[in-house]
Structure formats: C-alpha cells, structure tokens
C-alpha cells in the first residue's frame, strides 16, 4: 500500500468475507457538495491529511462523488430485532468505503451515511437531512469527549439536494468512523441467511478484529461472547452514569466493538427519572433510561443464540453454555455501574453498602425531580445550586451518610473532589441547546451557536467558567422534548 496525498491507506478485510454479507456498490454522487463540518484532529489521528481533505477536492470524497484510492465501497447486510420484531435490514443509506489503517496500525471503518439507495433501502430514499447529520456529529463527538466508547464523526457535507421528510430539508452526508460496523444484527443475518461456515468465518473475523488475544483460546467463541458482554456492560454503565438515552437499542444498533452506534433519537436526561423516553416512536417505553441495561441483556441473548452453533456441536451443551454466559450479564453490569456511580460520589473503593447509598440518592433525586447532571455537580463542588434539593430533609440525611462513607476511606477531601470532577461532566449536550444550535445552523446558516456548543462540550471535565452557561436544564417551554428516528 502506498500512501496518497490524502493519506488514504485502505485494507478492506470486510470485503474478503462471504459475499452474502454485503453488496459492492458506489455511493450515489450529489449535486453540489459543500464541507460543513470537518474533524481535523480525528483526520490526523487516522493518518489522513487534514489540509488536503479540507478542500474542494477532499469534499468530493467525503460526499461520495469520488472514490478514494484503495477503497472498495460496499453496503453491509444485517438483520435486527426492531422493538422486538425480527427484520432483514442492511445499510439502506450508508456505504462502507473501506478500512483505513492508521499510522498506529489501528483499523478504522470509514463509512458514508446518507450516500444514496442500496439493495437494503427498502422504501427509503437512501439519504439523510443536514440537521440529523449535524446532530450525530455533535453528539458522537461529545460522547467521545465524555470518555464513552462511540463511533466518531469525521465530516458533514451538505449535498445541495433536498430530502423530503414531512417537509423539504437540505440533504447531507456524514462520514462516520468506527472500529467496525459489526452489529449483533450482522450475526443474526449470518445465522439466519448463511451456512454454519459463513457464521464461523464472520465470527473468526470479528475475533481477529476485536479480540485477537482470544484466537489461541481453547474455547474462543465462548470467550468472545463474554468479551462482547463485557464491553456492553461497561458501555451501558457509562451511558447510565451520564444520563444518555440511546432511544433505539434494536439489535442492529448494538455494535460488537462496544461503541455507541446509530445516533437517531438519542438524548440526555435532565431530571432524574428512569422512565424517561424521548423518542416519538417508543410509545411503550421499551428503550426508556432505566430499561437500557435490561435491553442490553436481551440483545446479548439474541447474540448468544446466533453463535450457539459455534459454542458446542451438541445443541444442549451449546444452550447451557450460552445461558451460563448470559446469566452473568447482570452481575457484570452491576459491577461496572457501581464503579461508574461510585466515582461520581468520590468513592475509591467498594463497600457492600455503596449500592444502597447510590440507589437512595437516585430515589431522592427522582422524588424531587432533581436534575441528574447538576445534582452530581452540586455534590462535587458542594454548591447547593440544585433548586430545592439541598433543603430537603431526606437529601440532608442522605448527605450525612455519604459524608460518613467518605470518611471511611483514606483519601483526602481534595482527592475526592478530583475524582468527582473527573466523573461528573460540567456540561452535557442539553436538548434545548442542541436544538438551538441546529436551528441556527440549518435554518439560518449560522454555525456560531453550534461552534460554541461544540467547544463547551469538548472538555466536559475541565469545569471552566464558560461551561456554566451550558449547565442549565431546559426551560419548561422546551418540554416535553421529542426526538425522531431515521431522519
Ligand atoms: P436506524 O433506525 O437508523 O437504525 O435504521 C434502520 C434501518 O433503516 C437501517 O437498515 C437503515 O439503513 C434503514 N434506513 C433508515 N433511513 C433510511 C433511508 N432514508 N433510506 C433507506 N434506508 C434507511
Ligand atoms: Mg441503525
């Protein structure tokens, strides 16, 4: 592989997998591509040339009008349980250009989203609107800054073409970067459409890509299942610790890598309430905040079913192994969650009573409609700024218990505060702030609001004075907040 002047360095291992898993296809060119957002730092990390890409010639690639040297564009096939119902899916509006091998020898998928119709588009137009693509860019990068595994965003290009939703909207293409786009749904597809050999090739591929250390194991598939579960347990615990609600945790939207993927109707919770749902299509609250760990377990059980044929040739034994693994998820998750929540309270070790202490605080927050992010900030800086909460007798009593707990560990008050500052973000992408920024960008072509918000979100644990302006929860007039899928 020789490096081009854009820095492309493709090695497309996915394109060497069984043909049923994808369709070779070029993106559909767009009329008038304009680079709207570009992530220079990420380009650099990927071994790409930011200056070359941040140009008209570079924009042609990021729009799908030109194919980078060494790319082998394809649309991936996958299936998925959507709100519990099994469906054949696939990249209906995305094209995987290929895998960029970075200077550090990391392998990263480069995918265009909104790049035109594919054989998996079903009724869809294969396109995406500018607002939602800017939203994915903003929130995925904010998640990364929060220290949460996620797909990244390299660029947003407007297409100069309208897309028709309820109204006519400006179209856009997002360049998404991921450690892979293997989903639980990819395995479901291989299991239901492919042979045992296809499934084995896909799984060996996933192991080589994400868990190369397991290839020498005497039970690599069982270990792989556990590795995937571990990553999900850690991921969901992190979501819960910052109040992130994915909104559409279908099995096709759960990545084997443990990265957050598919930013559709996601949003951050303001007042603590486990029943919080933002997505307009989630009428029954399947993907409510408090359900996320259970849904993860459910999705992982679907994953375990697909790789059962690899666990043991004896069906009964395979079933027992799968069940054994899956039954471990709740314990795994609980310990990740306790670590994440313990850090938010400045704990350095574990005590059996910690779980009760954390749950008690959440209950009090729920009872008093306290803002999730700001309650932890107020505890971090001992600022009774969360309206009403610090005056409540139940909270005051809880706070005494917490302070006693802190005294039982050897770390100083300064150490405790540092730990809390590193676990409690000063700023999250507040829904009304996100909407305000997107509105200015899309309707008025004014990107300054989005720029300032991005800047505030770039270092959420810095706790700088200019971040305080972004800490306020939404005014009543901005509620209830609703989000939409697949736009
Ligand atoms: P999502 O809800 O974004 O996870 O998407 C679910 C499925 O619908 C995936 O197979 C997508 O590729 C497909 N899809 C979403 N939007 C479109 C669109 N505008 N055109 C074609 N397919 C789409
Ligand atoms: Mg999806």
CB of 248 closer than 6 angstroms to any ligand 1 atom? yes
CA nearest to 259, candidates 116, 153, 101, 118: 153
* Domain annotation covers residue 2: no
* Domain annotation covers residue 5: no
Ligand 2 mean position to 253 CA, how many Å?
A: 5
CA nearest to 206, candidates 191, 228, 188: 228
Residues 452, 443: Cα–Cα separation, whole Å: 17
CB of 91 closer than 6 angstroms to any ligand 1 atom? yes
Task: Say if CB 70 and CB 9 are below 8 A apart.
Answer: yes
* Domain annotation covers residue 386: yes
Instruction: Assess whether 380 and 445 both reside in one domain.
Output: yes
Mean pLDDT, to the nearest integer, of 179-189?
Answer: 98
Instruction: Assess whether 201 and 166 both reside in one domain.
Output: no
CB of 485 closer than 6 angstroms to any ligand 1 atom? yes
Q: Is the predicted pLDDT of residue 184 greater than 70, yes or no?
A: yes
State residue 104's pLDDT score: 95
**Domain count of the fold of the chain:** 2
CB of 89 closer than 6 angstroms to any ligand 1 atom? yes
3-state helix, strand, coil in the chain (%, to 5): 50, 15, 35
Instruction: Assess whether 158 and 195 both reside in one domain.
Output: no
Pick the atom of ligand 1 nearest to 89's CA: 10
Ligand 2 mean position to 184 CA, how many Å?
A: 11
The string of pLDDT tens digits covering residues 424-472 is 999 999 999 999 999 999 999 999 999 999 999 999 999 999 898 899 9
Q: Which of 22, 86, 93, 113 to mutate to test the pocket of ligand 1 (most atoms within 8 A of CB)?
A: 93
Instruction: Assess whether 170 and 229 both reside in one domain.
Output: no
Burial class (CB in 10 A: 0-12, 13-18, 19+), 292: buried
C-alpha triplet 203, 205, 208: angle, nearest 5°: 110
Residues 239, 269: Cα–Cα separation, whole Å: 11
> With a threshold of 0.85, does the pTM exceed it?
yes
- At residue 1 the predicted structure's pLDDT band, cuts being 50, 70 and 90, is very low
Residues 13, 11: Cα–Cα separation, whole Å: 6
Ligand 2 mean position to 261 CA, how many Å?
A: 8
Q: Is the predicted pLDDT of residue 477 greater than 90, yes or no?
A: no
CA nearest to 6, candidates 63, 33, 44, 37: 44
- CA neighbours closer than 13 Å in the CB half-sphere of residue 70: 18
State residue 486's pLDDT score: 60
CB of 282 closer than 6 angstroms to any ligand 1 atom? no
CB of 309 closer than 6 angstroms to any ligand 1 atom? no
Cα–Cα distance list, 346 to 417, 420, 468 (Å): 7, 5, 21
Pick the atom of ligand 1 nearest to 126's CA: 20
Given CA atoms 399, 402, 408, 411 in this order, what sign does their dihedral have?
negative
* Domain annotation covers residue 456: yes
Mean pLDDT, to the nearest integer, of 171-197?
Answer: 98
State residue 385's pLDDT score: 65
The ligand with the least distance to the CA atom of 76 is 1
Ligand 1 mean position to 55 CA, how many Å?
A: 29
Q: Which of 156, 180, 204 is the last residue of a domain?
A: 180
Which pair of tokens denotes residue 178? 């991921």
Active site residue 204: no
Task: Say if CB 111 and CB 180 are below 8 A apart.
Answer: no
* Domain annotation covers residue 364: yes
State residue 487's pLDDT score: 67
Residues 205, 303: Cα–Cα separation, whole Å: 16
Q: Which of 180, 201, 236 is the last residue of a domain?
A: 180
CA nearest to 361, candidates 187, 182, 241, 254: 241
The phi, psi pair for 129, rounded to 5°, reads -95, 155
Supply the DSSP string of 136-179, one letter for each residue: HHHHHHHHHHTT--B-EEEEEEEEEEEEESSSEEEEEEEEEEES
* Domain annotation covers residue 275: yes
State residue 236's pLDDT score: 98
Instruction: Assess whether 316 and 353 both reside in one domain.
Output: yes
Instruction: Assess whether 402 and 443 both reside in one domain.
Output: yes
Instruction: Assess whether 44 and 86 both reside in one domain.
Output: yes
Q: Cis before residue 378, ω within 30 degrees of 0?
A: no
Residues 234, 239: Cα–Cα separation, whole Å: 9
- CA neighbours closer than 13 Å in the CB half-sphere of residue 69: 11
The string of pLDDT tens digits covering residues 97-156 is 999 999 999 999 999 999 999 999 999 999 999 999 999 999 999 999 999 999 999 999
The ligand with the least distance to the CA atom of 183 is 2
Q: Is the predicted pLDDT of residue 2 greater than 50, yes or no?
A: no
Ligand 1 mean position to 95 CA, how many Å?
A: 12
- Neighbour tally for 446: CB within 10 Å: 13
> Which residue is catalytic, options 49, 91, 252, 270?
252
Alpha helices (H) in 408-475, listed in sequence order: 413-423, 431-444, 448-458
Instruction: Assess whether 25 and 137 both reside in one domain.
Output: yes
CA nearest to 20, candidates 208, 189, 204, 185: 189
- Of all protein residues, the one whose alpha carbon is nearest to atom 13 of ligand 1 is 92
* Domain annotation covers residue 14: yes
Task: Say if CB 249 and CB 263 are below 8 A apart.
Answer: no
CB of 87 closer than 6 angstroms to any ligand 1 atom? no
* Domain annotation covers residue 445: yes
- Neighbour tally for 195: CB within 10 Å: 11
- Of all protein residues, the one whose alpha carbon is nearest to atom 16 of ligand 1 is 486
State residue 274's pLDDT score: 98
Structural domain span for residue 51: 10-180
Which pair of tokens denotes residue 56? 């008209």
**Averaged pLDDT score across all residues of the chain:** 96
Ligand 2 mean position to 252 CA, how many Å?
A: 6
State residue 5's pLDDT score: 84
- At residue 387 the predicted structure's pLDDT band, cuts being 50, 70 and 90, is low
Instruction: Assess whether 176 and 206 both reside in one domain.
Output: no
Helix axes 413-423, 372-381, angle to 10 degrees: 160
Residues 344, 154: Cα–Cα separation, whole Å: 31
Task: Say if CB 5 and CB 67 are below 8 A apart.
Answer: no
């Amino acid at each position: 592989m020789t490096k081009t002047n854009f820095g492309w360095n493709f090695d497309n291992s996915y394109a060497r997998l069984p043909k049923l898993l994808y369709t070779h296809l070029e993106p559909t060119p767009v009329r008038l591509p304009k680079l709207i957002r570009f992530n220079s730092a990420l380009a650099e990390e990927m071994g790409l040339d930011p200056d070359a890409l941040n140009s008209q010639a570079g924009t042609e690639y990021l729009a799908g009008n030109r194919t980078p040297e060494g790319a082998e564009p394809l649309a991936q096939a996958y299936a998925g349980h959507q709100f519990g119902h099994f469906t054949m899916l696939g990249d209906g509006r995305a094209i995987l250009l290929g895998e960029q091998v970075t200077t550090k020898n990391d392998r990263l998928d480069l995918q265009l989203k909104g790049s035109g119709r594919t054989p998996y588009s079903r009724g869809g137009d294969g396109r995406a609107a500018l607002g939602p693509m800017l939203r994915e860019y903003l929130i995925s990068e904010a998640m990364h800054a929060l220290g949460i595994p996620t797909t990244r965003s390299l660029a947003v290009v407007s297409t100069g073409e309208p897309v028709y939703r309820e109204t006519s909207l400006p179209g856009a293409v997002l360049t998404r970067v991921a450690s892979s786009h293997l989903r639980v749904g990819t395995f479901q597809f291989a299991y239901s459409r492919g042979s045992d050999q296809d499934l084995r090739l896909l799984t060996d591929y996933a192991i080589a890509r994400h868990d190369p250390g397991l290839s020498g194991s005497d039970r690599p598939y069982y270990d792989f299942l556990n590795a995937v579960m571990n990553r999900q347990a850690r991921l969901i615990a992190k979501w819960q610790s910052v109040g992130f609600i994915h909104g559409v945790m279908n099995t096709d939207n759960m990545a084997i890598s443990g990265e957050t993927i598919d930013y559709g109707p996601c949003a951050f919770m303001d007042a603590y309430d486990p029943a919080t749902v933002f997505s307009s299509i989630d009428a029954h609250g399947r993907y409510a905040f408090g359900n996320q760990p259970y849904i993860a377990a459910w999705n992982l059980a679907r994953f375990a079913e697909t790789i059962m044929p690899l666990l043991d040739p004896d069906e009964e034994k395979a079933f027992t192994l799968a069940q054994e693994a899956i039954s471990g998820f709740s314990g795994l998750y609980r310990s990740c969650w306790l670590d994440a929540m313990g850090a938010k309270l400045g704990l350095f070790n574990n005590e059996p009573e910690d779980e009760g202490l954390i749950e008690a605080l959440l209950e009090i927050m729920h009872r008093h409609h306290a803002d999730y992010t700001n309650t932890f900030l107020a505890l971090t800086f001992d600022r009774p700024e969360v309206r009403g909460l610090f005056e409540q007798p139940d909270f005051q009593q809880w706070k005494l218990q917490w302070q006693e707990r802190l005294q039982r560990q050897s770390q100083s008050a300064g150490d405790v505060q540092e730990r809390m500052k590193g676990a409690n973000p000063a700023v999250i992408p507040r829904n009304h702030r996100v909407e305000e920024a997107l509105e200015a960008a899309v309707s008025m072509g004014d990107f300054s609001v989005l720029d300032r918000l991005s800047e505030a979100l770039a270092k959420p644990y810095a706790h700088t004075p200019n971040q305080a302006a972004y800490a306020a929860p939404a005014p009543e007039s901005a509620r209830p907040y609703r989000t939409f899928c697949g736009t």
